[in-house]
Structure 1
Amino acid sequence: MMPKNPKEPAETAERGGQPSVADVVMHPVRLRIIQQLGGRELTTAALRELLPDITPATLYRHVAALVEAGILSVVAERRVRGAVERTLALGERVAQVDQQELQAMSTAQLRDSVLTFLGHFAEDFDRFLAADPELRNLFGIGQTMLYVNTDDLAQLQADLTELLAPYRAEKPGRQRVTLTTALIPSQEPLPSQD
């Protein structure tokens, strides 16, 4: 729900009684879980293997919160030695904060979210540096300036979604990479329309 006064911060941006995506996913452990599931289905046991530094109790607690919020979905269940093994995938609620939720966040919430995101990015980069040096041929970093209005930005996001769609699913012989984007508006004044 948007605040009545756009300059007045909201504590949470709820939608249909559910907490905002930002409230749910902006936690370092939850971001790592979501990243592991992007484009594939994994059992909870596979998640434990991929995230060995997270205790099982902590992992299960955060998985449960993500499932409850609709960020993850349970696509299969099977009995394994008396316990139920769940297979998880990304759910119907995309784990991306939309414009309405961004507008409803206070400056402190937005700063905390970005710092959590950057911390997660730094952890990923550290893991990459510790990995096989051969993976460096898939690494890239860059920055470019764009000149857009809100309509251009919507079109750009739609075009990127279409362009990247064939690469979102896990396939044999393909290395998993993370594409990270950030749009930060410049504080420069807008050029005149003359």
Structure 2
Amino acid sequence: MRKTSPIADVVMHPVRLRIVQQLGEGRRVTTSDLRGALPDVAQATLYRHIAALVDAGIVAVVDERRVRGAVERTFALGDRMAHVDHDELREMGERELQQSFLTFLAHLGEDFDRASAGADFREFLGFGQVRLHVGTDDLSRIQAGLGELLAPYLAPQVDDGQGGASGRRTVMLSTVLMPDPADQPAPFSAS
């Protein structure tokens, strides 16, 4: 019997992906911040998705304070990474895997639509595809190298006093790694 993938089940929903995105880069946000960042999501729906993320340990409540008689919570990413790892990908059924990937693509498309309204959108846009020739051991080295390369750019930059951080903008790097369909191994046949 196939085991379900709890992180994938929880995170691979468009609203939940957007909540996790708001908590990226070590940010802490309140429920009010999330309502402001996701105005198209009904408040009850937003709270339901936040609760699911908290229950799964992907989002944590890091502070609570009273505001006009109500408790306002502040959230941050929890102990579990909001990332579907290789073990979980292996455990997904074909339909679940396809749905997760399509959800990722839909979220990427939504981000593209929202970002394209910006004046300097094309100055910070780039996309492409490249074929790499790797073994499974190579992937961990590539990931470590990318982590090292990107580390200086992960923390928000300090404001330079002129409305920006030395002309820097926050950009999103989204990656997809999949086998080249043209390079599938031939099926084994017993002779």
Bin of the TM-score, shorter chain as denominator length: 0.7 to 0.9
Match of 1:137 in 2: 123
| Matched residue type, 2:180 | S
Count residues in correspondence: 176
**1:27 to 1:112, Cα distance in 2 relative to 1, 3 A:** same
| Secondary structure, aligned partner of 2:120 | helix
Q: 2:4 aligns with which of 2, 12, 16?
A: 12
| Matched residue type, 2:175 | T
| Secondary structure, aligned partner of 1:79 | strand
Matches within 5 A, 1:142-157: 142-157=128-143
Matches within 5 A, 1:33-182: 33-39=19-25, 40-129=27-116, 131-171=117-157, 172=159, 173=165, 174-182=168-176
User: 1:83-130: per-residue Cα shift (whole Å, max 9, x none)?
Assistant: 11111111111111111111010111100111111111111111112x
* TM-superposed deviation, 1:189: 4.8
| Matched residue type, 2:101 | V
* TM-superposed deviation, 1:175: 2.4
* TM-superposed deviation, 1:11: 5.1
Percent of aligned positions that are identical:
57
Contact preservation (8 Å) 1:38, 1:168:
no
Contact preservation (8 Å) 1:22, 1:113:
yes
| Matched residue type, 2:108 | F
| Secondary structure, aligned partner of 1:133 | coil
CA distance in 2: counterparts of 1:65 and 1:189, whole angstroms: 38
CA distance in 2: counterparts of 1:76 and 1:162, whole angstroms: 32
CA distance in 2: counterparts of 1:189 and 1:44, whole angstroms: 47
| Matched residue type, 1:34 | V
CA distance in 2: counterparts of 1:74 and 1:60, whole angstroms: 13
Contact preservation (8 Å) 2:131, 2:180:
no
User: 1:36-95: per-residue Cα shift (whole Å, max 9, x none)?
Assistant: 111111111111111100011111110111011111111211111111111111111111
Question: What's the TM-score, normalizing by structure 2?
Answer: 0.86
Contact preservation (8 Å) 1:48, 1:59:
yes
| Secondary structure, aligned partner of 2:65 | strand
Moved over 4 A (4+): none
Contact preservation (8 Å) 2:8, 2:84:
yes
User: Where does the alignment leave 5 or more consecutive residues of structure 2 unmatched?
Assistant: 160-164, 186-191
